[in-house]
Amino acid sequence: MTQPHIRLTDVEMTFPRPDGVGEGIHALGPIQLDLRHGEFFAVVGPSGCGKSTLLELMIGLTSPTKGSITFEGQPINGSCPDGIGVVFQEDASFAWLTVRDNIAFGLRRMALDRREQDERVDKALAMMGLVEFADAYPSQLSGGMRQRVCIARTLVTEPRLILLDEPFGALDQQTRLLMGDEILSLWRKTGATIFLITHALDEAAMLADRIGVMSSRPGQLIDIVETHWPRDRDSRIVEQDAFGAVTARLWRSLRVESMKAIGKKEASS
Amino acid sequence: MSASTRRLFANMGWLTLAILVLWQGLYALIGDIALRSPVSTLQFTAKFITTPQFVTHLTETLKAFVLALLIAVTSGLAIGFLLGLKRFASEIFEPFLIAIYSVPKITLYPILLLIFGLGLSAKVAFGAIHGIVPIALFTLNAVRNVKPVLLKTSRVMGLSTGATIRTVIFPSALPEIFAGIRIGFSLTLIGTLLGEMFASQRGLGFLLMNAIGLHNVDVIVMLTFLLTGFAGMAGIVLLLINRRITAQV
């Protein structure tokens, strides 16, 4: 397969100013990016660099001011194509549905018979360790478990491209490492392409095959780091020397950009 | 029955007892000129509610109230959803709704009477205008406050606008909407009875006004007792439903 899974060509995003006067705010781009089928790609960048805007463009929630995005060769235009699943940073579980009904939510509009739906939900419950909470409501679960409900809800539709927008942002460090393991194992099991947005360098370094580093606004990809990890890996990769080298390189690329983001200039060259 | 529901009923029992004691005490103080004792009220009520005269008036009031509530809930929900889904429209109309909310509705009653004439429709309209605005305001806020990430989720899943309203916005906003309906319920009841008291030939409100004119303390106390009982009971039922809805959130 030579065609990239998703391709961003000269993508730029400019938001109009709130008062409508003058030039808009150039938030993003131009960005060129090809994701290969089945790879795990992470994006890191300083806060406010347009990471979430990039994600919204990729799922068709917003249209880019310039450039184009194609998914499996088809342009994305105003709506999210089938085959793309998203897990957001905020808790997006439906409070009025049980865990089981939450997970089944996206399946209901697909042309599948009921038995196939139930099977997929059971599988997702097992994979995410939620079996004994199937009939609980989200309010009875911890933040980490709610996020797993959202991941399961995305998984059951069997997306070929999964976008994760800082899905572990609200979790503690230990839970994040373990959730990272779960993501890696489901990436291997499903064979899907994963696009992860994060602000945690170690998370990106531990999980991804390639890591894109974004500049401060307007966000552009200023570096792409290949990790060369084996496909069969887990969070213990953080013990390796190579892991330190990857995070070091990421930080080198990011340090100046992060300082710009918090309004500081490089003190000395 | 859950522990909290049992506690609610126990509390209601104690409250009823306290009211009865207070009532009896008040009766001892005031006497027959303006009050009846709980026991004689109950006796009178038991006798009176079987009379065809009472049944006619009760049916009239119930009919007016149910119609008014139906109109208040449906139009309140419709206005709330229409404005809640359109930020621009809600910014324009919300201040109007709040202004209308604080207008003493009784000042509008002469106009309603001129439009609808004496009778059921005027009462229904008067009851409904009491309930519409709070239900609309609560619904508007509930719809506007649905978490954006839930709307994003439904868009990513490719849900149509109708399906999004039905399966995401409505259930997510329901607890708050229901709080509005609870308030709308009691205000509509007030409106309906007021309407009957001031310009009507039928209904419990008319009966009450008539009894005041005739200084019929038996009927006055009985009606107060019945209406308080009805409003209290309905309040408990709505509260129980509300708890069921919010239990998950």
pLDDT in tens, B213-249: 999 999 999 999 999 999 999 999 998 888 888 766 5
Q: What is the pLDDT of residue A203?
A: 86
Q: In this predicted model, what pLDDT tens digit does every residue of A210-233 receive, in sequence order? A: 999 888 878 888 888 888 888 888
CATH number of the domain where residue B213 is located: 1.10.3720.10
Q: Which of B152, B159, B171 sits opposite A88 (nearest CB)?
A: B152
| pLDDT computed for residue B142 by the predictor | 94
Task: Give the total number of structural domains in chain B.
Answer: 2
Q: What is the Cα–Cα distance from A232 to A236, expressed in whole angstroms? A: 11
Q: Which of B206, B71, B44, B198 is nearest to B127 (CA)?
A: B71
Residue A143 pLDDT: 84
Q: How many helices (H) and strands (E) does chain B have?
A: 11, 0
Residue B43 included in any domain: no
B248 in contact with chain A, both atoms CB, cutoff 8 A: yes
Of the partner residues A85, A91, A96, the one whose CB lies closest to the CB of residue B248: A96
| pLDDT of amino acid B209 | 93
Torsions phi, psi for A11 (to 5 deg): -75, 125
Q: Are residues B31 and B146 in the same domain?
A: no
Q: Give the closest of B156, B163, B248 to A80, CB-based.
A: B156
Say if B147 is an interface residue toward chain A (CB within 8 Å): yes
Q: Quick one: average pLDDT of A260-264? A: 70
What digits encode the pLDDT tens for the residues A67-101?
Answer: 888 888 888 877 888 889 999 988 899 999 999 99
Which residues of B fall within a CB distance of 8 Å from A85? 156
Contacts of A94 in chain B (CB under 8 A): 150, 168, 171-172
The encoded tokens of residue A82 equal 């089938």
d(CA B67, CA B75): 12
Note down the domain range covering B58: 51-246
The reply to whether B100 and B188 lie within a common domain is yes
What's the gap in Å between the CA of A259 and the closest CA on chain B?
30
The model's confidence at residue A267, banded by pLDDT at 50, 70 and 90, is very low
Mean pLDDT of chain A: 85
- In chain A, what are the domain boundaries? 1-80+160-167+184-269, 84-158
Q: What is the mean pLDDT of each run of 10 residues along chain B (249 residues)?
A: 84 92 94 90 92 93 96 96 88 89 89 90 94 94 93 89 92 93 94 90 92 92 93 91 76
List of residues 6+ apart from B41 with CB closer than 8 A: B218, B221, B222, B225
- Pick the residue with more confidence: A39 or A111? A39
Answer whether residue A266 shows pLDDT above 60.
no
In this predicted complex, what is the ipTM? 0.85
- pLDDT at position B1 is 67
What letter does residue A31 receive in the DSSP assignment? E
Q: Which two tokens stand for residue B202?
A: 């039928």
Interatomic CA distance for residues A248 and A198, integer angstroms: 16
* Interface probe with A: pick from B156, B166, B176, B246, most Cβ of A within 10 Å: B156
Min Cα separation B105/chain A (Å): 37
Is any Cβ of chain A less than 8 angstroms from the Cβ of B244?
no
* DSSP type of residue A237: G
Residues B8 and B99 in one domain: no
Q: How far apart are CA B235 and CA B243, in angstroms?
A: 12
- What DSSP line would sit under A97-115, residue for residue? S-HHHHHHGGGGGSS--HH
Whole-angstrom Cα Rg for chain B: 22
**Separation between Cα atoms, residue B152 and residue A88, nearest integer Å:** 9
Task: Say how many C-beta atoms besides its own lie within 10 A of residue A249's C-beta.
Answer: 17
Residue A121 is predicted with a pLDDT of 92
Q: Are residues B30 and B56 in the same domain?
A: no
Shared domain check, B149 and B101: yes
CA–CA dist A87, A97 (Å, integer): 18
Q: Are residues B20 and B59 in the same domain?
A: no
Which residues in chain A are contacts of B243 at CB distance < 8 A?
A: none
C-alpha closest to that of A182 among A157, A147, A209, A132: A147
Residue B44 lies in a domain: no
Q: How far is the C-alpha of B108 from the C-alpha of B100, rounded, in Å? A: 11
CA–chain centroid gap for B226, Å, is 15
Structure token pair of residue A164:
């994760």
Same domain, B56 and B124: yes
- Residue B237 lies inside a defined structural domain of this protein: yes
**Which superfamily is assigned to A1-80+160-167+184-269 in CATH?**
P-loop containing nucleotide triphosphate hydrolases (3.40.50.300)
A262 has pLDDT over 80: no
Q: Within this chain, do residues B12 and B111 fall inside the same structural domain, yes or no? A: no
**A221-226 and A210-214 beta bridge pairing:** antiparallel
Residue B58 confidence (pLDDT):
94
pLDDT band at A242 (very low <50, low <70, confident <90, very high): confident
Output the pLDDT for position B249. 56
Do B14 and B62 belong together in one domain? no
Are the Cβ atoms of B157 and A105 closer than 8 angstroms? yes
